[in-house]
Amino acid sequence: MQVWMMKIMTDPLHEMLDDKLSICYYKSYLAAVSQAIKDGTDVRVYFAWSLLDNIEWSSGYTKHFSLIYVDNKNGLFRHLKSSAYWFMQFLKG
């Protein structure tokens, strides 16, 4: 786990924004939600966690798992990740 955390903290910005694993997660999860609806589950809302990077009590600001990367070292500038672009296309249908 510590090696992974160091990788996150030292990766160049373009690598931080290319979050293919998150896209795979959302595709898989939303396919399961779709199947649950087909099976009769009353699903009314889905929230993607999390919109913006935030503080994690055990990790501080070192974890970046949101749709929008918050650059804590450069004035809290926000960058859309590839998962955010994927979500926009998904929602457009």
CA distances from 59 to 15, 27, 56, 92, 93 (A): 20, 27, 5, 35, 36
Domain residue ranges in the chain: 14-92
Model-wide pTM > 0.95: no
- Which letter, b or e, does each residue of 38-68 get, where b requires 16 or more Cβ atoms within 10 Å of its Cβ? eeeeeeeeeeeeeeebeeeeeeeeebbbbbb
DSSP element (H, E) containing 29: helix 20-38
Question: Residue 33 and residue 55: Cα distance in Å, rounded?
Answer: 28
pLDDT digits (tens, 9 = 90+) for 13-70: 888 899 999 999 999 999 999 999 999 999 999 888 788 877 777 877 777 778 999 8
90 confidence band (pLDDT: 50, 70, 90): very high
